[in-house]
């Protein structure tokens, strides 16, 4: 299993939200590049980057910070937030980004998604942010009537190989991962599942690994020093 320490970017800073609420935000660092470098020093090989401003505005906002992180740290980077056209995908991939995460555009513009999967293959992932079992969009501000598990199956059928599934009710709460939903998702054949939201304890890492998920995103638990990244990477890769 792969570990993806996360950096969520707001106004150029590394921040964490509580249950996706922009009014309940904690700024952890005004130097995201240094945060990424500390992750690398702790054994991380991958990094999960989210442009929160971009997700809300529908266009990249923190791209210069993202470029610096990718250039300086040399980690496999997956990036999401406000990526809604092919030019932005090309720009990020040309920087050395390993995987692009589409969210709102994957739901609202299925033809765009199909074209991206055709053109970029496994470099395209879909972020599924779920609230009470339904897909949320636009930086978690809007909840649709689309069941999240059904949407995950649809993504697989579209040719998407990897999804990042976030349980919004757990995100930023340090309450542990919703392992039950990942058991369900991992039974969808042909789909790599990255667990996100509430992954806070070494036991979470062990359970998710036993379930067989492809990866896990670690956020607030790292910043609050509730979880040791070196240990998490070691257990995930054993």
* Residues with catalytic roles: 8, 129
Give the pair of three-digit tokens for residue 113: 């998604």
Alpha helices for the chain (secondary structure H): 32-41, 52-57, 63-73, 86-95, 104-108, 110-120, 148-158, 179-185, 202-211, 220-223, 229-237
The neighbouring-strand residues paired with 163 are 126, 193
SS3 content of the chain, % helix, strand, coil (to 5): 40, 30, 30
Which among 172, 173, 190, 169 has a CA at the least distance from the CA of 181?
Answer: 169
- Tell me the three-class secondary structure of 152-165, residue by residue: HHHHHHHCCCEEEE
């Amino acid at each position: 299993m792969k570990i993806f320490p996360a950096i969520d970017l707001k106004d150029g800073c590394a921040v964490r939200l509580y249950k996706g609420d922009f009014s309940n935000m904690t700024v952890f660092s005004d130097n995201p590049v240094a945060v990424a470098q500390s992750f690398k020093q702790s054994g991380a090989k991958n990094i999960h980057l989210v442009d929160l401003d971009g997700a809300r505005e529908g266009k990249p906002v923190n791209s210069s910070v993202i470029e610096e992180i990718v250039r300086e740290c040399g980690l496999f980077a997956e990036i999401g937030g406000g990526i809604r056209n092919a030019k932005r995908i090309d720009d990020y991939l040309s920087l050395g980004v390993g995987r692009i995460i589409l969210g709102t555009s994957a739901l609202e513009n299925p033809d765009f998604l199909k074209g991206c999967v055709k053109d970029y293959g496994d470099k395209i992932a879909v972020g599924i942010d779920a609230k009470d079992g339904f897909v949320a969009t636009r930086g978690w501000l809007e909840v649709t009537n689309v069941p999240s598990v059904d949407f995950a199956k649809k993504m697989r059928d579209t040719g998407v190989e990897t999804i990042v599934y976030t349980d919004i009710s757990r995100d930023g709460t340090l309450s542990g991962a919703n392992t039950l939903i990942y058991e369900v998702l991992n039974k969808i054949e042909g789909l790599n599942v990255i667990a996100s939201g509430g992954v806070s304890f070494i036991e979470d890492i062990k359970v998710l690994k036993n379930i067989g998920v492809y990866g896990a995103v670690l956020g607030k638990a790292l910043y609050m020093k509730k979880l040791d990244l070196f240990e998490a990477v070691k257990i995930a890769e054993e």
